[in-house]
A and B are shown apart, each in its own frame.
Chain A
């Protein structure tokens, strides 16, 4: 039962442009959402999070938007840099320790 879905397995973007990654969820009990970034042969590293009481959270070049009614969140990276090339995982929890992850989106930033 895939409760968190990332429907785009890959994304290619020009350096300097905006990367937009999308994530949908089905469990209405989810109230905390996170994005993790993963390089090959490394573990996921935390990028940014958002609580369900907010609809936007910004941290430098990274902004996460949450649309609770649509059960949708997105991650915006602007401007995209070559070092942003990685796999990005969307994750969600229902106010507890258990994270449900999407399958990931591989971002490639072209020079």
Chain B
């Protein structure tokens, strides 16, 4: 399956712990996006990355959240000191280019904070 791969699919953390979500884009795609879906809401843009660069992190909370897309390996979305409000589905998407167009989404990582 050459689609966008996310892991883990489900992650349970206690308040104050760290959550680390991983995303491997589709083969040939160098643009990665993270979106968050809270219950009963649509997907909200968080961050856009290219290899080794954060292009736009305007949708990411200023504290506790960070993202990276290293030269080698998957993109990582890291949430430090998780709180209950971080419980959500986190979707990664990729695209071959940066302009307007279709994004290819992974199956998502569902974070539950106890």
Name the interface size band of chain A: 20 to 34
Contact across chains for A4 and B33 when beta carbons are under 8 A apart = no
A85-104: CB near B (< 8 Å → 1, else 0) gives 00001010111111111111
Give A67-111 interface residues, CB cut-off 8 Å to B: 89, 91, 93-104
Is the Cβ of A34 less than 8 Å from the Cβ of B107?
A: no
Give the number of A-B contacts (CB < 8 Å).
65
Beyond A101-B44, A102-B42, A103-B40, whether A43 also contacts B100 by CB under 8 A is no
Q: Quick one: given A43-B91, A43-B108, are A31 and B100 in contact (CB under 8 Å)?
A: yes
Pair A103/B100 contact, Cβ less than 8 Å: no
User: Do the beta carbons of A95 and B106 come within 8 Å of each other?
Assistant: no
Query: What is the interface residue range for chain B against chain A?
Result: 20 to 34
B11 at the interface (CB under 8 A from A): no
Q: Does A44 have its Cβ within 8 Å of any Cβ on chain B?
A: yes
What is the bound-complex CA distance between A51 and B106, given in angstroms?
24
CA–CA, A91 to B99, complex, Å? 15
Name the distance in Å between A50's Cβ and chain B's nearest Cβ. 12
Contact call B100/A96, Cβ cutoff below 8 A: yes
Instruction: Contact check, A97 vs B42: say whether CB atoms are below 8 A apart.
Output: no
Interface contact B102-A46, CB-CB below 8 Å: yes
Which residues of A lie under 8 Å from residue B24 when comparing CB positions? none
Q: Given contacts A32-B100, A95-B99, A100-B45, is CB(A44)–CB(B56) below 8 Å? A: no
Q: Decide if B103 is an interface residue (CB 8 Å cutoff).
A: yes
- 11 A/B residue pairs, CB under 8 Å, sorted by A: A4-B42, A32-B100, A41-B107, A43-B4, A49-B102, A89-B42, A97-B31, A97-B48, A99-B45, A100-B45, A101-B42
